[in-house]
Amino acid sequence: MENRNKAGHLCALLTIIIWGTTFISTKILLVDFQPVEILFFRFVMGLLALLIIYPHRLKTTTKRQELTFALAGLCGICLYYLLENIALTYTMASNVGVIISVAPFFTAIMSHLFLKEEGKLRANFFIGFVVAMIGIFLISFNGSKLELNPVGDLLALLAAFVWACYSILTKKISSYGYHTILTTRRVFFYGILFMIPTLFMFDFHLELSRFTNPVYLFNIIFLGLGASALCFVSWNLAVKVLGAVKTSIYIYMVPVITVVTSTLILHEQITALSIIGTLLTLAGLFLSERKTMRKEVNHGLTK
């Protein structure tokens, strides 16, 4: 049991480390690609990779299960990324970074309402949430002032809520007993299906010739194989083992990873506020993680 929990934490940590660095690849690709083009290419590549890695069919699913897969694809693959990208066109990236980090709070509330096996939340979760949000605020608004934009900020808040929905749906899917790669692949399929109508709305162009540029090719491979195929499988495994709430808490680390990678790769200068914010964010994570639930989050998963 203890080794299983450790594996769950490692999966969540690996996922967040990779997701925290994707902004670099996305920033490079945005020079010649629309946001919706990047999303479509990365998830199609991710789906194909999972088909090659585990070429088995997901059989004997019920209509209710297929509906859950479809909703997970709509929330976690299509709506979340579209809302986040659209929000970035209306408000500052720092606003979006802070607001998206509210996702664990939404996940905790929804988990308490819909996933009774997750147990009852303790005060330390909410204390950790406040501490982490202060840290994330310091990181995101380091050297700049807060500028509210109702449209963009509300879209980012909606994206955080949608990701919480995805986490709850993922937890539900994990109870079906299917192989994680098969369920992730099915979610990808529905996500891409829901994404197709948006391609006509956001000026999508296939133009595969752009990938003759080795820099673009490397970054889309990183996003497709690493951030999509690998990370969604590892994230779903973490949710299966740890539960939706404990796994979602790792989202607090994304701004921290961003600060570290910006310093190491982009050679951006780290400031005292960034260091204080990073320490507060990590402290908040550990506070929220420490005996967050009264019950073991993996109760019932070993039956």
Question: What is the domain partition of the chain in residue ranges?
Answer: 2-289
pTM of the model: 0.84
Task: Say what the pLDDT of residue 297 is.
Answer: 42
Three-class DSSP labels, 63-113: HHHHHHHHHHHHHHHHHHHHHHHHHHHHCCHHHHHHHHCCHHHHHHHHHHH
- The radius of gyration computed from the CA coordinates of the chain, to the nearest angstrom, equals 19
Task: Say what the pLDDT of residue 144 is.
Answer: 63
Distance set, CA 23 to CA 33, 222, 266 (Å): 14, 11, 11
The C-alpha atoms of residue 283 and residue 132 are separated, in whole angstroms, by 7
Task: Say what the pLDDT of residue 12 is.
Answer: 94
- Chain segment 165-195, per-residue pLDDT in tens: 999 999 999 999 999 999 999 999 999 999 9
* Residues 241/125, Cβ–Cβ less than 8 Å: no
Task: Say what the pLDDT of residue 223 is.
Answer: 95
- Listed as ranges, residues in the chain with pLDDT below 70 are 1, 93-94, 116-120, 142-148, 266, 268, 291-303
